[in-house]
Amino acid sequence: MNDKPPRKKKKIAAPADAPADAHKISTDAPKPAQDDEAVKEAVLGAVLSDAAFDGFTESVLAKAGKAVGLDKDGLARLFPDGPLSLIEFYAVWADGEMQKRLAAMDLPKMKIRERIAAAVLARISILAAHKEAARRAGATLSLPMHAGLAARLLYRSVDTMWRAVGDTSTDFNFYTKRGILAGVYGATLLRWFNDTSENDAATHEFLAARIENVMQFEKFKAEAKKALANFPSFGSWAKPKEK
């Protein structure tokens, strides 16, 4: 029998410069680096207050880039066309925010005119927090040299609206719907830029009237199509009569 007492296990000390809990595996999720979209959104947020007074300019963009830690090269990569690229991102961002708001609504229970009104008003409400900056962006896009970009952004917005409210058309109606809504939304946006009424009541009334005009036109088209269906085709009308 061994009468020697058991030997104590030697404790291995952590290095002097290691923290007390160095042996533990962290359960905290790593913080991912900001992607380009997040950085662009941060720049936009930093721009909007200044753009309300100075417009979307190179100096305003440079100031915003500096505020979020971007150098000149970083800004040039994210916004290759300078302020125009920023305005384009502003429009795309607003479209995305509008989609989120519409997704939270019970659209299937609404009539189509109510859905479209909700989409237009949701898009405008996104811009309302920085109305003057939105006005400045609109003024820039209204210049003749930017007509192409303005048309693309307007089409993107109305296409997003139609898709968000459940439009699945693929025929000629796909284009007519977007063309009609482009006119309604564009006119309503201009009315809103100059609206000083309480809670934008004048804009709401203006939009309701424009949608009513469209619905009356659609009703007229349907009635005209039905009436013309009773007329003989041109081919049969022009066919020589048999003797």
Q: Shortest CA distance to 201 belongs to which of 193, 210, 192?
A: 192
What is the pLDDT at residue 146? 97
Q: Please tell me which residue, 21 or 81, carries the higher pLDDT value.
A: 81
The answer to whether residue 237 sits within a structural domain is no
| Residues 14 and 22: beta-carbon distance below 8 Å | yes
What is the pLDDT at residue 56? 97
Could you give the CA distance from residue 140 to residue 91 in angstroms, rounded to a whole number? 13
Length of the chain: 243
Query: What are the pLDDT digits (tens) for 23-35?
Result: 333 333 333 446 9
Could you give the CA distance from residue 191 to residue 189 in angstroms, rounded to a whole number? 5
The answer to whether residue 30 sits within a structural domain is no
Percent of the chain with pLDDT over 70: 75
Query: What are the pLDDT digits (tens) for 75-117?
Result: 999 999 999 999 999 999 999 999 999 999 999 999 989 999 9
The answer to whether residue 188 sits within a structural domain is yes
Residue 239 has pLDDT above 80, yes or no: no
Domain that holds residue 114: 91-226
Residue 3 banded pLDDT, cuts 50, 70, 90: low
The answer to whether residue 173 sits within a structural domain is yes
Residues near 235 by Cβ (< 8 Å), separated by ≥ 6? none
DSSP assignment of the chain: ---SPPPPPPPPPPPTTS-TTTTSPP-SPP-PPP-HHHHHHHHHHHHHHHHHHH-S-HHHHHHHHHHTT--HHHHHHH-TTTHHHHHHHHHHHHHHHHHHHHHTS-GGGS-HHHHHHHHHHHHHHHHHTTHHHHHHHHHHHTSGGGHHHHHHHHHHHHHHHHHHTT----STHHHHHHHHHHHHHHHHHHHHHT--SGGGHHHHHHHHHHHHHHHHHHHHHHHHHHHHTTSPPHHHHHSPPP-
What is the pLDDT at residue 95? 98
Percent of the chain with pLDDT over 90: 68
Q: Please tell me which residue, 55 or 33, carries the higher pLDDT value.
A: 55
How many domains are contained in the chain?
A: 1
Q: Shortest CA distance to 160 belongs to which of 242, 106, 108, 92?
A: 92
Mean pLDDT within 47-62: 95
Specify the residue for token string 């968000």: 164
Q: Shortest CA distance to 86 belongs to which of 108, 57, 113, 110?
A: 57
What is the pLDDT at residue 32? 45
CATH number at residue 144: 1.10.357.10
